[in-house]
Amino acid sequence: MAIHPTAIIDPKATLGDVEVGPYAVIGADVTLADGVRIGPHAVLSGTLSVGKGTVIHAHASIGGDPQDLKYAGEPTELIIGENNTIREYVSINRGTAKGGGVTRVGDNNLLMANSHVGHDCVVGDGCVLANSVALAGHVQIGDGAVLGGLAGVHQHARIGRFAMVGAGAMVSLDVPPFCMAQGDRARLFGLNVIGLRRAGMGADVLAVLRAAYRELFRSSTPMRIAADKLPEDFPDSPQVAELAEFIEHSTRGICRATASEATDGR
């Protein structure tokens, strides 16, 4: 354990074998697992647990009260998984009682400088939030999703697994798994082909997803009806089943496709 003498650590905090930099502040209800590193001037507060190997850089504010006018001091928490990199000035708020009480960040994520994760959000594993990405309350981000710099996501919206949201996008509706979205308000621009290849999906999987995408977004069939037919049309594809289920459970609605898509099918 390496604790800088200027760090302020409540004696009730639970610390494993960690490193804490100069002038960092760690509150009473904070739990840090082995291998956690806390940078200078970072502030960790509230009921917060941070998993093994996570690195929190300078001036980050982690575990603060939710930015919700209805919050009245109820006990809520933030749970952060293992091997995350949380860069400078990142802020992550705890949950609200109305939202279930917990904000969650999974494992192996990269949250770049100035990004924000609002109350009651759920961020999966292996995600990238580039500089100044802002997630409003109750947002859900699927595993492997990538959000470009300055992108903003509306309350209760969902970003599906291995989706890609372009820089500067304003996302007000759900972005389906495996897709790319861009713009204000964000629209779909085909499949996230590069991301899917990096995730190990082969040409056969991509071909099925392209066909399913065309049925959903490029045909004359209404999207909800097309989604209901997908498991029947592609019975052997777990990715298509995931896509159909995501659409079925959408409450905000699904981003619509652009009139022309340079990236679809490539």
Which sequence positions are flagged as catalytic?
A: 119-120, 137
Phi (first) and psi of residue 210, to 5 degrees? -60, -45
Rounded to whole angstroms, the Cα distance separating 3 from 107 reads 24
Phi (first) and psi of residue 228, to 5 degrees? -65, -30
Question: Tokens standing for 70?
Answer: 């209805």
Rounded to whole angstroms, the Cα distance separating 86 from 54 reads 8
Q: Is 160 exposed, middle or buried (0-12, 13-18, 19+ CB in 10 A)?
A: buried
Q: Which residues contact 179 (CB under 8 A, 6 or more apart)?
A: 160, 163, 164, 188, 189, 190, 191, 192, 213, 255
